[in-house]
Amino acid sequence: MVVAKRIQELRLLLQEHAHRYYTLDDPIISDSEYDLLFQELLVLEEEHPELVTADSPSQQTGAAPLAKFVQVEHRLPMLSLENAFNTSDLHAFEDRLLRFLNQDFSSDSLSYMAEPKVDGLAVEIIYEEGQLVQGSTRGDGSKGEDITAQLKTIPSIPRQLPRCPTPRLEVRGEVFMDREALIVLNHERLQKGEPLFANPRNAAAGSLRQLDPAVTAKRSLKFLAYGIADPSQTPCSSQDGLLAWLGSLGLPISDLARSCPSMVDVISRFEELAALRHSLPYEIDGMVVKINDFNLQQRLGNKARAPRWAIACKFPAIQTTTRLLSVDFQVGRTGAVTPVALLEPVVVGGVTVSRATLHNRDEVERKDLRIGDTVLVQRAGDVIPEVVKAIVEKRDGSEQPVAMPLDCPVCGHALLKAVGEAVTRCVNPHCPAQRLRALIHFTSRAGLDIEGLGKKSMEQLYTLRLVGDIPDIFILEQGQLASLEGWGRKSADKVIAAIQAAKQPPLGKLLGALGIRFVGEVTAAVLEQTFESLDQLRHSSLQTLLEIEGIGEQAAGSIIDYFSDPDVQLMFDRLKQAGVRPQAGKKAQTDLPLNGLVILFTGTLTTLSRTEAKKLVKDHGGQIATTVTHKLTHLVAGEKAGSKLKKAQELGKIILTEQEFLAMIRS
């Protein structure tokens, strides 16, 4: 029978992948691909109930505990959850609840809790008389691994509850790892030649399953409680009450959990969390929906592997697998040669991806990527897609090593990899790719922001040889532009007017637009405040630069090298002839409200653009920071502020709302 054969194939596949996911913490397919296989099995078994067997993955939870750990039997099973993938699935979930309860039961009588589905490892922690006595993994739902010593190394898990309302408390929750901690851990593993963790869940699981608790202690793990084994042992009658109660005992709970009076509210919260997910410091892969009332939960009961009263609604996948077809090498404006993966097109996070960054040649070599490999690709929010790792188990021998170029793929000049740097560079200053990227940067928003001269326009002008270097921009004529394909008289007039307006840029803005190595927005602003003119900066000594607060050796050396270049000197002569006159910044006034303050913005501002906010800081005597360091004095936190806010709080920096920042300026 064809259906029976397919069911058996799916069971074997799912058992193999579950073993790699739950036991080895080394999956070779993405979560979304596993979910598709599992859903196919569920549909076939629902259509053919006579083929359902007790050993089917649809009837089981998790995977068997590892033999290297002592096994712990859960007093009550730790069940899994059924999945939903869209609003239709959520409505169908509510319909099933109503059918099971009875025909007279109204949807108005149902209320829900919506909680973020943290991408981590489910654990049970047992307290006796308020003392932590045992901790274990979920395992197969009935038995888990004893990881008591490992869990005690996690700072957010209290070893002793301040008060113990019950003799025994079986707390259930999720152990997870922040995104930044995973990046640091994977970087360390890359350096050591160790396999990378594919996602935060695998990193958390791999960290907890260390026989040596000292290793676990180094892994920056966290914990959130979401329930207990038997709610009837508590004074709580609902899930929202239980979470508040757990929080009052000193257990960490999610501040993103929400009570939802109806399914409409549930769906609205799902959309809110989907929009919020990428700004969180940790990974959430969906939202768990639970009937709020414990009496109704008990009445609904459980199926073989999951409760009837709860469901996990998954977000669109941010990871999937595809084939690495080839590797392209792009040359940036500083000469950095970046390998870019050309992929078999695949949908990741709702977007079709065919290219992904590989960062540098060291990463290609450490990850042992080969042409023809099946690779795990991820994309989070607006972040550029990246290749996480190769799935070496799927190699068939036809894969070819990535050939790293010795010469620049654009100009043919020999490439150089400086000692201590990960980046390989083309050091030919006349490389066409570098010149074009430098021109695009110069006119972009990060540069002089010349309206009408975006990336496509600059590529067109460069290809037609109307612009070969920066001074050429300022001698363009209206007639040259108006006759070009895609242009007209009005658009040409606007661009010429924008170019004229850009001939007297602030000195700091010009320096940032020039793309001098190690001179970013903050350094350019410091130089603008220090020097009265561009000529004074051009003729300054290395010692003078090193004496400036905020200018390090790298930046100072780069500035000296830049202005000593004969081609750069000729460029400035041509800019002067074209009428470009940079304006020195006003000297800092000691009575300005932000004088001496170093301010960083994070999150989304509601009344100001980020550019306007930074200008306000500079105009009122302050300095702009790009990262959280000890020099930072204030952090302005907008909506959806993430890891920078947390780090600033840990360092004891002053945190301001947008309104408090504006009030400080008005003062």
Q: Which residues, including other chains, have CB under 8 Å from residue 437's CB and lie 6 or more apart?
A: 331, 332, 333
Calpha distance 186→289 (Å, rounded): 32
Q: Are strands 221-228 and 168-177 parallel, antiparallel or unpaired?
A: antiparallel
For 444, the enclosing helix (H) or strand (E) is none
Q: Would you give the DSSP letter of residue 419?
A: T
> Coil, strand, or helix at residue 338?
strand
- Strand locations in 495-647, DSSP E? 598-602, 623-624, 634-637
Q: Would you give the DSSP letter of residue 232?
A: G
Q: Are strands 400-401 and 370-371 parallel, antiparallel or unpaired?
A: antiparallel
Is 117 among the catalytic positions?
Answer: yes
Token pair for residue 663? Answer: 């009030």
Residue 205 near residue 151 (C-beta atoms within 8 A)? no
Q: What one-character-per-residue DSSP string does 258-288 give?
A: EEESSHHHHHHHHHHHHHHGGGSSB-EEEEE
Calpha distance 264→74 (Å, rounded): 36
Calpha distance 542→545 (Å, rounded): 5
Q: Which residues, including other chains, have CB under 8 Å from residue 446's CB and lie 6 or more apart?
A: 512, 513
Q: Which of 68, 117, 614, 615 is catalytic?
A: 117
Furthest-apart CA atoms within the chain: distance in Å: 87
Please give the single-letter amino acid code of residue 532.
E
Residues in the chain: 667
Token pair for residue 419? Answer: 């000692």
Nearest to 124 by CA among 132, 112, 136: 136
The backbone torsions φ and ψ at residue 618, rounded to the nearest 5 degrees and listed phi first, read -65, -45
Calpha distance 58→51 (Å, rounded): 12
Please give the single-letter amino acid code of residue 638.
G
Q: Which residues, including other chains, have CB under 8 Å from residue 191's CB and lie 6 or more apart?
A: 366
> Coil, strand, or helix at residue 357?
strand
Sign of CA dihedral 190, 194, 199, 200: negative
Q: Which residues, including other chains, have CB under 8 Å from residue 338's CB and lie 6 or more apart?
A: 329, 330, 331, 332, 357, 358, 359, 360
Query: Which positions are catalytic?
Result: 117
